[in-house]
């Protein structure tokens, strides 16, 4: 029996609690309603017992009074004993906001090249050197230099000459 349906004395469904993943606040509310308003509970495999057929509810149990209160208290102990999921500290450090999102770029890696090195790389590239030679001259990886130059270059659609 997975679900506990709290029913008022006038046979109206008050609340439904999942026994597999009980929520502590719902259990506290259910205990209050059961004690204050003399509600009863139906244990079944159906979330809405009023939509289920009579044949499906043959194995359902009905709890009332002190039996219901002790049952809800036992579930409260189960809900309190659950520990929240913890993350590894290395994973938590990955969740910190990246510096690059603040500057408008979509990459998340920290930049290894500064503005002065970009200008030097552009000059060496204008002289006709290949990317690998430019990277060796600056002591950086050629692909990081290439991506830094392409990110800082202006696109034709954003340049003032092409804005219609």
Per-residue model confidence (pLDDT) at position 15: 92
Per-residue model confidence (pLDDT) at position 89: 76
Of these ranges, 30-34, 102-106, 141-145, 159-163, the one predicted with the greatest mean pLDDT is 30-34
66 vs 98, higher pLDDT = 66
Whether the Cβ atoms of residue 27 and residue 4 lie closer than 8 Å to each other: no
Please state, in angstroms and rounded to a whole number, the distance separating the CA atoms of residues 86 and 115. Answer: 41
Average pLDDT for 141-159: 67
Ranking 7-21, 30-44, 56-70 by mean pLDDT, the lowest is 56-70
Average pLDDT for 61-71: 90
Please state, in angstroms and rounded to a whole number, the distance separating the CA atoms of residues 100 and 131. Answer: 24
Q: Which domains does the chain have, with CATH numbers?
A: 3-81 (no CATH), 97-154 (1.10.10)
Per-residue tokens: 145: 């230099």
How confident is the model over 105-137, as pLDDT tens digits? 555 566 677 888 888 989 998 999 998 898 888
The mean pLDDT of the chain is 79
Q: How confident is the model at residue 22 (pLDDT cuts 50, 70, 90)?
A: confident
Per-residue model confidence (pLDDT) at position 105: 53
Please state, in angstroms and rounded to a whole number, the distance separating the CA atoms of residues 140 and 122. Answer: 14
Average pLDDT for 22-35: 90
Per-residue model confidence (pLDDT) at position 80: 78
Per-residue tokens: 72: 């809800």
Please state, in angstroms and rounded to a whole number, the distance separating the CA atoms of residues 49 and 120. Answer: 74
Ranking 74-78, 93-97, 107-111, 127-131 by mean pLDDT, the lowest is 107-111
**pLDDT above 80 (res 145):** yes
Distances (CA, A) of 22 to 8, 18, 27, 48: 20, 5, 7, 17
């Amino acid at each position: 029996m997975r679900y506990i349906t709290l029913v008022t004395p006038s046979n109206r469904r008050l609340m439904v609690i999942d026994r597999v993943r009980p929520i502590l606040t719902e259990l506290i509310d259910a205990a209050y309603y059961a004690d204050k308003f003399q509600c009863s509970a139906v244990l079944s495999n159906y979330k809405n017992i009023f939509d289920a057929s009579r044949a499906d509810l043959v194995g359902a149990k009905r709890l009332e009074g002190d039996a219901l209160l002790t049952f809800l208290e036992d579930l409260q102990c189960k809900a309190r004993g659950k520990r929240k999921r913890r993350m590894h500290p290395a994973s938590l450090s990955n969740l910190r906001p990246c510096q690059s999102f603040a500057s408008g770029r979509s990459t998340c890696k920290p930049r290894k090249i500064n503005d002065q090195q970009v200008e030097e790389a552009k000059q060496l590239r204008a002289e006709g050197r290949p990317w690998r030679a430019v990277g060796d001259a600056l002591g950086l990886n050629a692909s990081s230099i290439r991506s830094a130059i392409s990110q800082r270059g202006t696109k034709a659609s954003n340049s003032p000459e092409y804005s219609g």
